[in-house]
């Protein structure tokens, strides 16, 4: 919030709203629709990976909860642990839900593995990385690319090649004295995790391709939103905006603050700000983009979380009354 205020303060010009083109503003409705479409594809991916063992509304609740948790936890942690909890509340075993989350994360890593070469090749023809980030910024982005590819390879190995590797890793971690009291239950769930990973590994290539398609569509929606917001305010270079939005979204993954707050606004100004002809519109674009992608996610996520809380309270009351 503070960083967004700083961006608005540095770029605001009195009377800037008079320069808005009313015919472009309906694009903001499209941006909101694409945000909801992103939730739909995320929910569809979760339900598909669960072999449709949960309903459509249940998968939407899980997706909203995942987004909510991602918005209030550091980007480096994400909302995966809370998503796992949400799945267990929907009747999926912990081991299976953990495998679904890991498989979903792996699909994201496959998407990153595809995005990195796209950005590298595109950089030969377009200034994908803005000059403002300098040498340090370029080196940082290269390290991010390398890290994403390495992490994706590790997950793919654990889920698709050697599921026992994940089980052994979990058992080693929970053999530490501070975690040993949880080892019995966790080891049991690790067995379930390995079993479900083996089932996923046996799925046909068509299963992987459809799951990857759903994951990709969700990410394309995420990338499109800041571009749509900017084009709702004024014209711009669409192709370069899309490429920079992609690079920017990869950079978001390593920001160690809840929901990337304080960092994503700055990255937006650095990556997409130079492509906005009217400097005074940068702060406005950041504000609208964060409202649509961050605060709407929090609002919808709170509704989903309250559903789970109410269900838990109701179950506790029923147990007490028995």
DSSP-derived letter for residue 22 is T
Mean pLDDT, the chain, whole residue set: 78
pLDDT at position 214 is 92
- The residue that leads in pLDDT, 248 or 260, is 248
pLDDT over 80 (residue 248): yes
Q: Which of 277, 275, 228 is nearest to 128 (CA)?
A: 275
Alpha-carbon Rg for the chain, nearest whole angstrom, is 21
The pLDDT tens digits of the residues spanning 94-140 come to 777 877 887 787 788 778 878 888 888 888 888 888 877 767 777 87
Q: How many helices (H) and strands (E) does the chain have?
A: 13, 0
The pLDDT tens digits of the residues spanning 254-287 come to 766 655 566 777 788 888 888 887 766 787 888 8
pLDDT over 70 (residue 184): no
List the chain domain ranges.
Answer: 2-313
User: Measured between alpha carbons, how far is 159 from 255 in angstroms, rounded to an integer?
Assistant: 26
pLDDT over 70 (residue 192): no
The pLDDT tens digits of the residues spanning 287-321 come to 888 888 888 888 888 888 888 777 766 666 566 56
Contact (Cβ atoms closer than 8 angstroms) between residue 111 and residue 211: no
């Amino acid at each position: 919030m503070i960083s967004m205020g700083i961006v608005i303060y540095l770029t605001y010009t009195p009377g800037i709203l008079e320069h808005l083109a009313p015919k472009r503003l309906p694009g903001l409705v499209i941006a909101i629709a694409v945000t909801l479409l992103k939730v739909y594809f995320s929910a569809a991916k979760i339900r598909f990976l669960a072999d449709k063992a949960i309903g459509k509304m249940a998968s939407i609740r899980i997706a909203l909860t995942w987004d909510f948790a991602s918005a209030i936890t550091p980007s480096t942690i994400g909302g995966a642990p809370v998503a796992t909890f949400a799945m267990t509340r929907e009747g999926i075993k912990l081991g299976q839900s953990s495998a679904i989350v890991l498989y979903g994360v792996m699909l994201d890593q496959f998407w990153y593995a595809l995005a990195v070469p796209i950005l590298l090749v595109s950089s030969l023809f377009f200034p994908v990385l803005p000059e403002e980030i300098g040498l340090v910024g370029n080196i940082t982005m290269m390290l991010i690319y390398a890290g994403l590819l390495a992490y994706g390879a590790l997950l793919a190995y654990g889920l698709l090649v050697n599921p026992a590797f994940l089980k052994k890793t979990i058992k080693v971690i929970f053999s530490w004295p501070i975690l040993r009291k949880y080892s019995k239950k966790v080891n049991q769930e690790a067995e379930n995790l390995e079993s479900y990973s083996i089932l996923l590994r046996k799925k046909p290539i068509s299963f992987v391709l459809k799951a990857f398609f759903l994951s990709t569509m969700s990410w394309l929606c995420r990338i499109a939103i800041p571009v749509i917001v900017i084009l709702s305010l004024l014209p711009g270079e669409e192709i370069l905006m899309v490429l920079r939005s992609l690079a920017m979204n990869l950079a978001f993954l390593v920001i160690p603050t809840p929901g990337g707050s304080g960092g994503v606004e700055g990255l937006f100004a650095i990556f997409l700000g130079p492509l906005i002809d009217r400097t005074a519109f940068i702060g406005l674009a950041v504000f609208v983009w964060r409202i649509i992608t961050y605060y709407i996610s929090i609002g919808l996520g709170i509704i989903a979380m309250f559903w789970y809380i109410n269900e838990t309270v109701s179950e506790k009351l029923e147990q007490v009354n028995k």
